[in-house]
Amino acid sequence: MTAASHAGHAIRQRVAQAIDRSKLDLLEAEGEAAYDRMYDAHNYRDAKDAWDDCSLNLYRAIEEAKRLGLTEDAERLSARWDHCHAVWNSQFRSSF
C-alpha cells in the first residue's frame, strides 16, 4: 500500500467512525429527551410511552457503543439506563 492510499484509507476510517459516533450521539440525545418527557407527562400512558422511548434509545446507544468498541461510553450509558430505570420505578410506575 502506498503512502497516499494508506492516508486515504485512514481518512475513510475516521469519516466512518464519525458517522457511527453521530448515530450513537443521536440515540443518546433521543433517550435523554424521552427521559425529560417523563417529567412532563400528565397521565400514566404518556409517562410510560416516554419511559419506553428512553429505555429503547439508551439500550440502542449502549449496543452501538459496544459495536464501536467504545467501552467507556457503553459503561456510562449502562449506568445512565440503570438510573433512569430506578427513577421510573420509584417516581412514575405507581404515580398516576
**pLDDT score for 15:** 67
pLDDT tens-digit map of 65-86? 999 999 999 999 999 999 999 9
Average pLDDT, the chain: 89
Residue 34 · residue 58 · CB < 8 Å: no
Against a cut of 0.85, is the pTM above it?
no
Nearest to 38 by CA among 22, 26, 51, 55: 51
Q: Would you say residue 18 has pLDDT above 80? A: no
Q: Would you say residue 1 has pLDDT above 80? A: no
Residue that is written with C-alpha cell 404518556 in the block? 46
